Each structure stands twice: as structure tokens, then as C-alpha cells.
């Protein structure tokens, strides 16, 4: 059923350049990007446009493609056996979704757009073809997967304040890595979604954000955030 999701109007994060994308190397080796005199041309692959509040894919549906986020923000929602949902992560521009497809054959979460999203679609079949550079392709794919296979270090830990701080700094770092503005950005998540991700309540998120605002650690206007003087270590110290 289509969810009644009246979204904020704000724009999208990105778009980013192909060169800043985690899928770039694989994309090139699969022949999805034509190289012209050393210049990278736009991908010739399929694009997927996803409107805010709608799904890129759903839990359990057959995983036929990898997706690279080019523009916008998505949330990954884990749907438990007994039906309730929890946001377990975000995907920012330049990141790759659907990596679990190789082993499971299906997607392990729902991927829901939080903003207008544009993704590049890379059918898994393209990776199995007998190209000339099978070795390079396999090697690139292994490196990509290996990055995601590192033991999870960014789980919500400590006080809510620490979790909010970590969340903001993490998001900021991920944006900056892609050449986007990591100092000033729109969170793209409602308070409800933030609370869900950080395993707490909307009121608490609101309070912490206001608190950080009053302390001039961040500036908050709507869902536009500016990081001013925010650091993980300062939080750890503040916690004694």
C-alpha cells in the first residue's frame, strides 16, 4: 500500500560525479561508462528515479541489481518477522546498495527514499559476463564488498547525546567524502526517523538538538543543520 507521506519540500543531496562513486571502478570495467580521450562520460546504464517516501526495493524481493546512489538520501529499513520496522542505516550519494544480493539472492532490507533520489542500476548479470577483464572486475568487486564487510563500528552507543553527535558527524563525514558540503546540510530525516535510527524517541531527539543549538555546537533551522563546534571527543569528555 502506498504510504501517505507528505514530505518536506527540500531539495536533494548531490548529484555527485561518477568519479566520487564507490561503484565507479566496477561501472567502468563493466563497460557502463564510455571513456573518451581520458574524460569520463555519463553512464550509459539505466537510471532509477525514486520519489520521496517510495521504495527502491523491498525486503525479500529478488536482488537483480546493485544500485549506486547518485543523488538524494535513502533509509534502509529492517522488517522483522513479526512485522515491525526499524531504520538500520542511511545511504548517501556515492554509496552502493544491494550488496547482500550475491549471497542471499534477495534484498535484506527495504530501501526508502527520503528525498528525490536518482540511482544508477547495475544488473548482476553484467558482472557475470565473460568480459576481457574478468580478473580486474572480480578484484574490484571484492574490494567493494570487503569495505562493507568490516565489523560494524558505527552502531548507536552511549548516551543519546553521544548518539546524536555521532550521527551528525558520521553523516557529515560521508557527505564530505563525496565532495558535498559536510558543514551545512539538510538532515533529510524527520524527527521520527532520526529517533527510529538512534533507538530513542522524537521528544528526546528534539531536546538534544535544541540543547546542542543553545550551546552553539550546531545551528538548527527546520531540518537544515550547520555544524559549528561539534566533536565526538568533546562529548566523551562532557560525559565525564
Partner DNA sequence: AAACCGGATTGACCTGAATCAACACCAGAA
Partner DNA sequence: TTCTGGTGTTGATTCAGGTCAATCCGGTTT
Nearest to 50 by CA among 16, 80, 105, 7: 7
Say whether residue 177 binds DNA (CB under 7 A): no
142 contact choice in a second copy, DNA, none (CB below 5 to 8 Å, kind-dependent):
a second copy
Distance CA 76, CA 57 (A): 10
CB of 64 to a second copy, least distance (A): 14
Instruction: Read off φ and ψ for residue 141, nearest 5 degrees.
Output: -65, -40
Total Cβ atoms within 10 A of residue 106: 16
Say whether residue 161 binds DNA (CB under 7 A): yes
Ranges within 25-84 binding DNA (CB under 7 A) = none
Say whether residue 155 binds DNA (CB under 7 A): no
204 contact choice in a second copy, DNA, none (CB below 5 to 8 Å, kind-dependent):
DNA
Across the beta sheet with 184-186, the strand order is 184-186, 224-227, 218-221
CB of 3 to DNA, least distance (A): 10
- Give the residue with the Cβ less far from a second copy, 100 or 170: 100
CB of 221 to a second copy, least distance (A): 30
Give per-residue burial for 149-184: e unless 16+ CB within 10 Å, then b: eeeeeeeeeeebbbbbbbbbbebbebbebbebebee
Q: Binder to DNA among 200, 217, 226, 228 (CB under 7 A)?
A: 200
Residue whose entry in the numeric block shows the C-alpha cell 551528525:
168
- Give the residue with the Cβ less far from DNA, 10 or 179: 10
- The 8-class DSSP code of residue 62 comes to B
Rounded-to-5 percentages of helix, strand, coil across the chain: 30, 25, 40
Q: Binder to DNA among 143, 210, 229, 234 (CB under 7 A)?
A: 210
Q: Binder to a second copy among 47, 236, 238, 239 (CB under 8 A)?
A: 236
- Chain residues in the site for a second copy (CB under 8 A): 76, 78, 82, 86, 88-89, 99-104, 108-109, 134-135, 138, 141-153, 155-158, 199, 233, 236
Amino acid at each position: 500500500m502506498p504510504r501517505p507521506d507528505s514530505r518536506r519540500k527540500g531539495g536533494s543531496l548531490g548529484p555527485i560525479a561518477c568519479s566520487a562513486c564507490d561503484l565507479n571502478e566496477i561501472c567502468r570495467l563493466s563497460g557502463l561508462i564510455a571513456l573518451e580521450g581520458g574524460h569520463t562520460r555519463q553512464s550509459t546504464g539505466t537510471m532509477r528515479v525514486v520519489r520521496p517516501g517510495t521504495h527502491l526495493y523491498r525486503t525479500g524481493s529478488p536482488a537483480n541489481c546493485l544500485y549506486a546512489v547518485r543523488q538524494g538520501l535513502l533509509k534502509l529499513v529492517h522488517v522483522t518477522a513479526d512485522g515491525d520496522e526499524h531504520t538500520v542505516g542511511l545511504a548517501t550519494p556515492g554509496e552502493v546498495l544491494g550488496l547482500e544480493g550475491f549471497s542471499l539472492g534477495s534484498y535484506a532490507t527495504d530501501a526508502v527514499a527520503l528525498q528525490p533520489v536518482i540511482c544508477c542500476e547495475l544488473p548482476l548479470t553484467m558482472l557475470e559476463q565473460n568480459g576481457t577483464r574478468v580478473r580486474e572486475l572480480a578484484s574490484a568487486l571484492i574490494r567493494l564488498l570487503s569495505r562493507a564487510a568490516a565489523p560494524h563500528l558505527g552502531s548507536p552507543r552511549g548516551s543519546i547525546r553521544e548518539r546524536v553527535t555521532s550521527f551528525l558527524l558520521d553523516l557529515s563525514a560521508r557527505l564530505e567524502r563525496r565532495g558535498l558540503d559536510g558543514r551545512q546540510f539538510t538532515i533529510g530525516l524527520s524527527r521520527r526517523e532520526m529517533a527510529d535510527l538512534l533507538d530513542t524517541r522524537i521528544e528526546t531527539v528534539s531536546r538534544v538538538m535544541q540543547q546542542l543549538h543553545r550551546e552553539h555546537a550546531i545551528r538548527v533551522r527546520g531540518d537544515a543543520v550547520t555544524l559549528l563546534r561539534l566533536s565526538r571527543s568533546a562529548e566523551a569528555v562532557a560525559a565525564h
